[in-house]
Amino acid sequence: MAVRSERPHDGVLRLVLDAPETLNSVDEPMLRAAADAVEQAADDAETRVVVLTGAGRAFCAGANIGGEPDPAGSGVDTSVLEAANRLVSAITSAPQPVVCGLNGLAVGVGVSLALACDLIVADESAYYLLAFTKIGLMPDGGATALVAASLGRHRALRLALLAERLDVHAAAEAGLVSTVVPTADFAAELDRIAVRLAGAPTGALGHTKSAVNAASIAGFAETLERERVGQSRLLASADFAEGVAAFQQRRPPVFTGD
C-alpha cells in the first residue's frame, strides 16, 4: 500500500508516504491506508503524536486521479477524492497533534495533506503548487478552506487560480508552514518537535487543537462536500480530458470551457 509505519520514539507514530519513484503521488489504496492508520491512532492511548512525511525527495506530488469511467454509473471515478477527504478529515479530527514533515515538493492534494496537519516542519527545498487548474480541476482535499484560512481570500485565489509555485520561504511568510529548516537539520528538527509534543499534556493539546480548528476551519465537512460536488463535475468535463492529454503529451492545453 506504499505507506510505511514507524515508531521511532515512545508515543510517536511516523507515517511515511513510500512511493519515491512517483514522488509519492497518492492513489486510493495509499490514502486509505494512511487514513486507517490515523483513525486507529486516534483511539490508541500510546500514540501521543503522529508525523506524516514522504520518502525520498518529495512529500507528495499529488493524486493519480485518472478520470476513468465509474462502473457504478456516476460517470467518473471519485474514489481517490473520497479517500483523500477521509484522510484530511482524520488528520483534522485526531485528538493528537499531527505534524507534517514537508521534506520536499507538495503538489495538488499533497498541499491539502500538508495543510491539514497541525504543525508543518519544512525542508528548505520544499515548495507548494496548487496545480489543479492546469488540468481543468479545482483544489480539493479541503484546500479551498485550508489555504484561505492561512492566506485570506485574495491570496488564496491567486495561488489556486494561477497555479503559481510558492517556495518554502514565501510559504513561511504567508503562514503556510510552521518552520523552515536547512536540509542537513531537517530530520533532527522533525524528531525534536515530535518528541516534545509526545511529552506534552495530551488532553491540553487535543482541546487546543479542537478549539483552534473550530475557530479557523468551521464547516470543514461542508467544504469537503462542496469540493466533491464541484470536482465530480469537472472530472467529467472536456477540459479535464484535454488537461490530462496535454500533460501526458507534454504540450500546452487548449481549454474550451466545456
Q: How confident is the model at residue 154 (pLDDT cuts 50, 70, 90)?
A: very high
Mean of pLDDT values over 172-184: 95
Q: Please name which of 128, 110, 104 lies closest in space to residue 176, comparing C-alpha atoms.
A: 128
CA geometry: angle 10, 124, 130, nearest 5 deg? 100
Q: How confident is the model at residue 68 (pLDDT cuts 50, 70, 90)?
A: very low
Instruction: Check pLDDT > 70 for residue 182.
Output: yes
Instruction: Decide if 3 contacts 25 (C-beta within 8 A).
Output: no
Q: What mean pLDDT is reported for the chain?
A: 93
CA geometry: angle 103, 240, 235, nearest 5 deg? 85
Q: Please name which of 47, 174, 41, 61 lies closest in space to residue 114, comparing C-alpha atoms.
A: 61
Sequence-ordered strand ranges (E) for the chain: 3-6, 12-17, 49-54, 58-60, 98-102, 105-107, 119-123, 127-129, 165-167, 179-181
Instruction: Check pLDDT > 50 for residue 169.
Output: yes
Q: Is 14 helix (H, G, I), strand (E, B) or coil?
A: strand
Q: Which residues contact 71 (CB under 8 A, 6 or more apart)?
A: none
Confidence (pTM) = 0.93
pLDDT at residue 70, as a whole number: 41
State what percent of residues in the chain have pLDDT above 70: 95
Look up cell 469537472; give the residue.
Answer: 234
Q: What is the spatial order of strands in the sheet that 58-60 belongs to?
A: 58-60, 105-107, 127-129, 165-167
Of 149 and 36, the structure prediction assigns the larger pLDDT to: 36
Mean of pLDDT values over 158-183: 94
Return the axis-axis angle of helices 79-93 and 28-42, rounded to nearest 10°.
20
Q: How confident is the model at residue 6 (pLDDT cuts 50, 70, 90)?
A: very high
Instruction: Check pLDDT > 90 for residue 111.
Output: yes
Name the CATH architecture for the domain at 3-184.
Answer: Alpha-Beta Complex (3.90)
Mean of pLDDT values over 190-198: 98
| Distances, alpha carbon 151 to alpha carbons 83, 97, 105, 155, 160, in Å | 26, 22, 19, 6, 11
Instruction: Check pLDDT > 80 for residue 246.
Output: yes
pLDDT at residue 131, as a whole number: 93
Q: Which residues contact 55 (CB under 8 A, 6 or more apart)?
A: 4, 16, 17, 18, 19, 20, 24
pLDDT at residue 76, as a whole number: 67
State what percent of residues in the chain have pLDDT above 90: 90
**Percent of residues in the chain assigned helix, strand, coil, to nearest 5:** 50, 15, 35
Instruction: Check pLDDT > 80 for residue 67.
Output: no
DSSP string covering 83-133: HHHHHHHHHHH-SS-EEEEE-SEEETHHHHHHHHSSEEEEETT-EEE--GG
What region does 120 belong to: left with phi over 0, alpha with psi -120 to 50, or beta? beta
Instruction: Check pLDDT > 90 for residue 250.
Output: yes
